[in-house]
Amino acid sequence: MSELVIPYRTEPHPVTGVTSGKLGIWLFLASEVMLFGALFSSYVLLRVGVLQEHWPLGVEAGLNVPIGTFNTIVLITSSITMVMAWASLKMDNVGAYKKYFAATIALGLLFLVIKGFEYGDKFSHHIFPATGWPGAGDPSPFYGLYFTFTGLHALHVALGILVNLWLLIWGTALFKTDPECFTGRIEIAGLYWHFVDLVWIFLFPVLYLL
């Protein structure tokens, strides 16, 4: 029986110039653009559909800007550790890769823990997706958007952490036998991780600052 070989795993496809994995992740990310895009589009529609004075600033609705800023820095830092993990593999330094990749996972977890505390604080003030906030007049879609946006984003962070954990604990062995293939996998995991960071770059000002 001949061995099954998956084509264009490490060598670029002659037509596209990229590996199948890379084309795949970018197609997936393009679909993610539409998923988050639909939410941002809903936000714009709901916001322009109301008089300006009825739309709260994040601060007025009870969001904590310093905590949100800190969490933004946490996610940005996890992006540089992610790219450094990949660069370490490119330079054949598995030890450095493991440290940077573990740091990326830890920072992702820290982001989720902080987000969890923020959610807990909202729930303790009886703020839920379908409610307003203390001092608000009529119900507003603000917290419906906040929880949908941040919940979907947190789900993406959580899934990224799981995949990265798998790659770190069980996947790394592949580097010994097929370094190019494994480095490609870390690059692909990185593309997803940076995309999740990129979504937060827009989410943070939209929800907390404007």
Binding site for other proteins (CB under 8 A): 12, 16-18, 22-23, 26-27, 30, 33-34, 37-38, 40-42, 44-46, 48-55, 65, 69, 72-73, 76-77, 79-80, 82-84, 87, 90-92, 137-138, 140-141, 190-191, 194-195, 197-198, 201-202, 204-206, 209-210
| Cα–Cα dist 28/54, whole Å | 37
* Residue 3 three-state SS: coil
Smallest distance from the beta carbon of 2 to other proteins, in angstroms? 30
**99 or 194: CB nearest other proteins:** 194
Amino acid at the residue 139 = P
Pick 27 or 113: Cβ nearer other proteins: 27
Quote the least distance from Cβ 140 to other proteins, whole Å. Answer: 6
Both tokens of residue 88? 């370490």
- Give the distance from CA 154 to its chain's centroid: 7
Task: Find out whether 12 and 107 touch, Cβ atoms under 8 Å.
Answer: no
CA-nearest of 129, 122, 140 to 68 is 122
d(CA 181, CA 189): 13
Residue 13 or 120 having the CB closest to other proteins: 13
- Residues 18 and 21: their CA atoms lie apart, in Å, by 8
Q: 50 vs 120, which CB is nearer to other proteins?
A: 50
CA 22, distance to chain mean position in Å, is 18
Q: Least distance (Å) from other proteins to the CB of residue 133?
A: 12
Q: What is the C-alpha to C-alpha distance for residues 189 and 82, in angstroms, rounded to an integer?
A: 9
Nearer to other proteins, 71 or 168 (CB): 71
Report whether 207 contacts 149 (CB < 8 A): yes
The residue (of 65 and 159) whose beta carbon lies closer to other proteins is: 65
Question: For the chain, percent helix, then strand, then coil, each to nearest 5?
Answer: 75, 0, 25
Min CB(4)–other proteins separation in Å: 26
Give the nearest distance from C-beta 177 to other proteins in angstroms: 18
